[in-house]
Amino acid sequence: MTTLSDLFWQAPLNDMKQGYIYQPENDEYVCLICGERFVNGLIYENGEQLYEAKKYVTIHITQAHQSMFHFLLNLDKKMTGLTDHQKSILELFYAGASDQDAAKTLNTGSASTIRNHRFSLRERQKQAKVFLAVMELLGEHTPKKQTFVAIPASAKQVDERFAITEQENAKILATHFKQGLNGPLDSYPLKEKKRVAIIRHLATLFAVNKTYNEKEVNAILKPIYEDYVLLRRHLIDYGFMDRTLDGSSYWVKV
C-alpha cells in the first residue's frame, strides 16, 4: 500500500487536486506525492525550457506521476473505496470515452449499463460532499469539555480504569456509599474503573505527609468495609499509597 505523508492528508481539497502545496514559511512548492520541493525564486530547467518553481512543480507531477487523477485513482481500495471495475470506468471517462466506447472496451454489453455507473458515481460524489461537510463541521465544533478526576502520578499502570469524569466519579461514590462518603461501603464492585473511584476516595481519609503503621491503616479501613485487607492492598496497587517492604509503614503518595 502507498504510504502518504501527513502533508498529503492535511492538504486542503484544492491543493490535493493540483498535487502540490505552497509553504510560505519556506517559500517552497512541495509535491504531495513524493515530497520533492521547489524553491520559489529559483529557475528550473526542463529540456531547453526554463521554468519558475510554481510552473515546474506541475511539470514534475506530470512527468513523475502522470497526473493527480491517475495517482489518486490508483491508490489502495481502502483509501478510495473504489472497485477495480469502477476505476476502469473512471479512467475511461477521464480519457473522454463515450458510454458506448466504454461499454465496448469493458465488454459490459450496453451503453445503458455505463450510464447507470455514471449515475451511481455521481450519487457517491453527493454523499462524499455531505460526509465531508459533516466532518468539517464536527472539527469546527467545540463541545463542552469533560473534566476528569486526577490520576495519581505514582499509578503503576495508567489505562482506561483511570479515565473517570467528575460526573462518573460522583455517581460511583453515591451508588456504593449510600450512607455518605464517611462509610460504610455498601458493596465493593468487580469493575476496576469503579474500584479506582472508591480507592481514590479512601485515600483522602489519610493525611498527606504522615506515616501510618499497618494497625492505624486497618483502623481507618475497618469501619468502611469488612474486607479491609483488600482495600489496603488496592490503595497500594492503584498507586494512591505506598509502604515499606516489610509493611511496617504506609503513607499517601503525592
156, 187 contact by CB (below 8 A)? no
Q: How far is CA 120 from CA 89, 117, 133, 210, 251, in A?
A: 12, 5, 20, 72, 68
Identify the pLDDT of residue 109. 74
**238 in helix, strand or coil?**
coil
Q: Can you say whether residue 41 is alpha, beta or left, with left for phi > 0 and alpha for psi between -120 and 50 degrees?
A: left
251, 211 contact by CB (below 8 A)? yes
231, 199 contact by CB (below 8 A)? yes
Identify the pLDDT of residue 144. 62
Identify the pLDDT of residue 1. 42
Q: Take residue 111 and report the three cell numbers written for it.
A: 451503453
- Matching residue, cell 492535511: 10
Domain 160-252 has CATH 1.10.287: no
Distance CA 11, CA 9 (A): 6
Secondary structure tally for the chain: helices H, strands E? 12, 7
Q: Take residue 243 and report the three cell numbers written for it.
A: 509502604
All residue ranges of the chain with pLDDT < 70 are 1-3, 142-162
Instruction: Please give the order of strands across the beta sheet that includes 37-39.
Output: 20-23, 28-31, 37-39
Identify the pLDDT of residue 160. 61
Tell me the sheet residues that pair with 50.
45
**20 in helix, strand or coil?**
strand
Q: How far is CA 14 from CA 10, 22, 80, in A?
A: 12, 12, 17
Distance CA 60, CA 225 (A): 73
Kindly report, residue by residue over 190-234, the tens digit of the pLDDT.
Answer: 888 899 889 989 999 999 889 999 999 999 999 999 999 999 999
Residues of the chain with CATH 1.10.10: 160-252
Identify the pLDDT of residue 150. 53
Distance CA 82, CA 88 (A): 10
Identify the pLDDT of residue 181. 87
Identify the pLDDT of residue 162. 66
Residue 189, φ and ψ in degrees, nearest 5: -65, 160
Kindly report, residue by residue over 67-95, the tens digit of the pLDDT.
Answer: 999 999 999 998 899 999 999 999 999 99
pTM over 0.75: no
